[in-house]
C-alpha cells in the first residue's frame, strides 16, 4: 500500500523541477503552459493519495483544480490573442 | 446566435444528467436501490436548466445523430483502438526525442488538407491531432471548398501538403470519417 | 493484480518524467508545448487506469472508479483546447522562436491577408 505514497512523491518532485521553467520562462506563454503542467502533476499526486487513504474527497478536489486550471489557461490564451 | 431546438435541449439535458450521476456516485446507489427521489429530482431539474441555457452552444442540428448503432460502434472502435494506438506511438516518439542527448528537433508549421465534412468532424480531427504529441493544430481555414489546417510539427519531414497530411493524420482521418459520414 | 497497477503507474511516471525533461530542454515555446502534451496524455492515463483497477479490486468502491474515469474523459476533452488556444494566442501575440523554423506557412498566409 505504501508504494502509492512513494509514487505521489515522485510526481511532486517532477512538479518542483518545473518551477525552474516557471521562474526563468522567457515569455508569458511559457509560464502559462508550465503552470498548467504543474496543475496536472499535482492532480496526479492527489489522486494517488486518495487511493492510498481510500477517501474519494481528494478526487473531488483534484477535479475542481483541473477545472480551474483549464479556465485559467483559456483566459490567458484569450488575453494573449488580444480579445479579452 | 441560432435558437436551440427542443431535441437539442433534451439531448444536452440527458448528457448533463448522466455526467452528474457519474460524478456524484448516485448511479451506484440507483443500482443498489437506495437512491432518494428528492436528490434525483433536484439533479434532473438542474440538468434541464443547464440544457436550456447551453444547448445552443453545443448542438445545432440533428440532436440524436450519434444514436445510430453503426455510428456508435465505429465511435467505440475509434476511442478504444484506433486513437490509443496512434497516441502511444507518438508519445514514445516524443519521449525519445526529449531524452536524446542531441535533441533532434526540426520544428516548422505546415499546411495540411482535411478531407472530412461538417464542423463536428473537423473539430474532432483537429482535437485528435492536437492530442497526439508532436503535432498541434494552430488554425483552420477554407480555400475554394477545401479545408486546411495549419499544424505545428516538431519534426518536419516534408513540406508537400498531401505527404505531410499522410504522415500526420495516419489512420485517424479514416476513423473520423466513418463516424460522421451521412 | 497489484503488479499491473504498479506497472501502469510507473509507465505514467516515466512519460511524465520525459515530458518534464523535454519542457526544461526544448529550444522554443511551441516545442515545449509538444512536451506538455506528453505529460497530459499518457502521464495522466496511466494513473487513471491504474487507479480504476485499484479502486475496483482492492477498495470495492465503484463510485470512486467511475469518478476517476470521468476525470480521465475530462482531461482528454479539455487538454487539446488549452494547447490550441495558447499556441494560437502566442503566435498572434508575436512570440517567435529564436532560431529559424524549417518552414512557416501560417506566417506567410497571415502576411498575404494583410
CA B97 to chain centre: 27
Q: What angle do CA A63, C83, C42 make, to 5 degrees?
A: 60
Length of chain B: 182
Q: Which DSSP state fits C101?
A: P
- Give the closest-approach CA distance of A68 to chain C in angstroms: 12
Q: Residue C29 and residue A7: Cβ atoms within 8 Å?
A: no
In this predicted structure, what is the pLDDT of residue C49? 92
Q: Residue B27 and residue C66: Cβ atoms within 8 Å?
A: yes
B contact chains, 3+ CB pairs < 8 A: C
Q: How confident is the model at residue C94 (pLDDT cuts 50, 70, 90)?
A: confident
* Phi then psi dihedrals of residue B114, to 5 deg: -115, 115
Q: What angle do CA B79, B85, B89 make, to 5 degrees?
A: 140
Instruction: Name the residue among B169, B167, B133, B138 with its Cα closest to residue B152.
Output: B138
Say which range, A46-50, B154-158, C6-10, has the weakest mean pLDDT. B154-158
Question: Which of A77, A79, A81 is the best residue to mutate to test the C interface, defined by the most C CB atoms within 10 Å of its own CB?
Answer: A77
Q: Residue A51 and residue C63: Cβ atoms within 8 Å?
A: no
- Give the closest-approach CA distance of C85 to chain A in angstroms: 6
Instruction: Please tell me the pTM assigned to this model.
Output: 0.88
| The C-alpha cell that represents B127 in the structure block | 482535437
Q: Which DSSP state fits A10?
A: H
For chain A, domain boundaries: 3-81
pLDDT tens column, C19-58: 999 888 888 888 888 888 888 888 899 999 999 999 888 8
Percent of chain C beyond pLDDT 70?
95
Residues of C in Cβ contact (< 8 Å) with B136:
30, 33-34, 37, 83-84, 87
- Interface check for A63 against chain C (CB to CB < 8 A): the answer is yes
Average of per-residue pLDDT across A76-80: 89
C-alpha–C-alpha distance, residues B28 and C2, integer Å:
25
**What is the spatial order of strands in the sheet that B108-114 belongs to?**
B108-114, B146-153, B135-143
In this predicted structure, what is the pLDDT of residue C107? 73
C-alpha–C-alpha distance, residues A82 and A56, integer Å:
40
CB pairs under 8 A between B and C: 129
| pLDDT of residue C73 exceeding 80 | yes
In this predicted structure, what is the pLDDT of residue C38? 86
- Interface check for C96 against chain A (CB to CB < 8 A): the answer is no
**Minimal Cβ distance to A56: which of C19, C39, C61:** C61
* Torsion sign across C-alpha atoms C50, A66, A82, C100: negative
| The C-alpha cell that represents A44 in the structure block | 496526479
C-alpha–C-alpha distance, residues C75 and C62, integer Å:
20
In this predicted structure, what is the pLDDT of residue B1? 53
| The C-alpha cell that represents B160 in the structure block | 508537400
Residues of A in Cβ contact (< 8 Å) with C53:
none
- Interface check for C67 against chain A (CB to CB < 8 A): the answer is yes
What tens-digit pLDDT sequence spans chain B (182 residues)?
566 778 888 888 988 998 888 888 888 888 887 778 888 899 999 999 998 888 887 776 666 777 778 888 888 888 888 888 888 988 998 888 888 888 888 888 888 888 888 888 888 888 888 888 888 888 888 887 788 888 888 888 777 877 878 888 878 888 888 888 76
* Residue B72: count of CB within 10 angstroms of its CB: 12
| Nearest chain A residue (CA) to C36 | A37
In this predicted structure, what is the pLDDT of residue B49? 92
Return all residues near B135 (Cβ < 8 A) that are at least 6 apart: B90, B129, B151, B152, B153, B154, B168, C34
* Torsion sign across C-alpha atoms C62, C63, C64, C66: positive
- Interface check for C16 against chain A (CB to CB < 8 A): the answer is yes
Higher pLDDT, B94 or C95: B94
Q: Residue C17 and residue A80: Cβ atoms within 8 Å?
A: no
Amino acid at each position: 500500500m505504501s508504494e502509492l505514497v512513494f509514487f505521489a512523491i515522485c510526481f511532486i518532485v517532477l512538479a518542483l523541477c518545473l518551477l525552474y521553467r516557471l521562474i526563468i520562462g522567457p515569455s508569458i506563454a511559457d509560464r502559462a503552459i508550465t503552470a498548467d503542467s504543474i496543475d496536472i502533476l499535482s492532480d496526479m499526486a492527489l489522486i494517488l493519495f486518495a487511493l492510498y487513504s481510500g477517501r474519494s474527497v481528494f478526487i473531488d478536489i483534484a477535479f475542481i483544480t483541473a477545472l480551474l486550471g483549464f479556465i485559467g489557461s483559456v483566459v490567458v490564451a484569450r488575453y494573449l490573442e488580444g480579445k479579452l | 446566435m441560432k435558437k436551440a431546438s427542443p431535441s437539442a435541449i433534451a439531448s444536452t439535458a440527458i448528457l448533463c444528467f448522466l455526467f452528474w450521476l457519474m460524478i456524484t456516485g448516485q448511479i451506484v446507489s440507483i443500482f443498489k436501490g437506495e437512491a432518494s427521489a428528492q436528490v434525483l429530482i433536484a439533479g434532473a431539474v438542474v440538468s434541464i436548466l443547464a440544457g436550456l441555457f447551453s444547448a445552443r452552444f453545443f448542438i445545432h442540428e440533428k440532436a440524436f445523430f450519434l444514436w445510430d448503432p453503426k455510428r456508435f460502434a465505429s465511435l467505440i472502435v475509434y476511442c478504444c483502438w484506433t486513437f490509443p494506438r496512434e497516441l502511444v506511438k507518438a508519445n514514445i516518439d516524443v519521449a525519445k526525442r526529449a531524452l536524446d542527448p542531441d535533441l533532434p528537433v526540426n520544428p516548422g508549421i505546415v499546411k495540411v488538407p482535411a478531407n472530412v465534412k461538417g464542423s463536428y468532424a473537423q473539430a474532432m480531427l483537429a482535437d485528435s491531432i492536437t492530442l497526439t504529441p508532436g503535432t498541434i493544430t494552430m488554425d483552420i481555414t477554407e480555400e475554394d471548398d477545401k479545408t486546411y489546417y495549419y499544424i505545428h510539427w516538431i519534426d518536419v519531414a516534408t513540406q508537400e501538403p498531401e505527404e505531410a497530411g499522410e504522415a500526420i493524420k495516419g489512420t485517424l482521418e479514416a476513423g473520423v470519417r466513418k463516424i460522421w459520414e451521412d | 493484480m497489484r503488479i499491473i497497477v504498479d506497472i501502469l503507474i510507473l509507465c505514467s511516471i516515466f512519460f511524465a518524467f520525459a515530458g518534464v525533461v523535454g519542457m526544461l530542454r526544448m529550444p522554443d515555446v511551441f516545442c515545449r508545448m509538444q512536451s506538455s502534451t506528453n505529460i497530459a496524455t499518457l502521464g495522466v492515463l496511466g494513473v487513471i487506469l491504474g487507479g480504476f483497477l485499484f479502486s475496483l479490486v482492492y477498495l470495492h468502491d465503484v463510485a470512486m472508479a467511475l469518478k476517476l474515469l470521468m476525470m480521465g474523459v475530462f482531461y482528454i476533452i479539455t487538454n487539446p483546447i488549452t494547447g490550441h488556444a495558447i499556441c494560437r494566442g502566442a503566435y498572434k501575440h508575436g512570440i517567435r522562436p529564436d532560431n529559424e523554423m524549417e518552414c512557416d506557412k501560417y506566417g506567410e498566409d497571415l502576411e498575404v491577408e494583410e
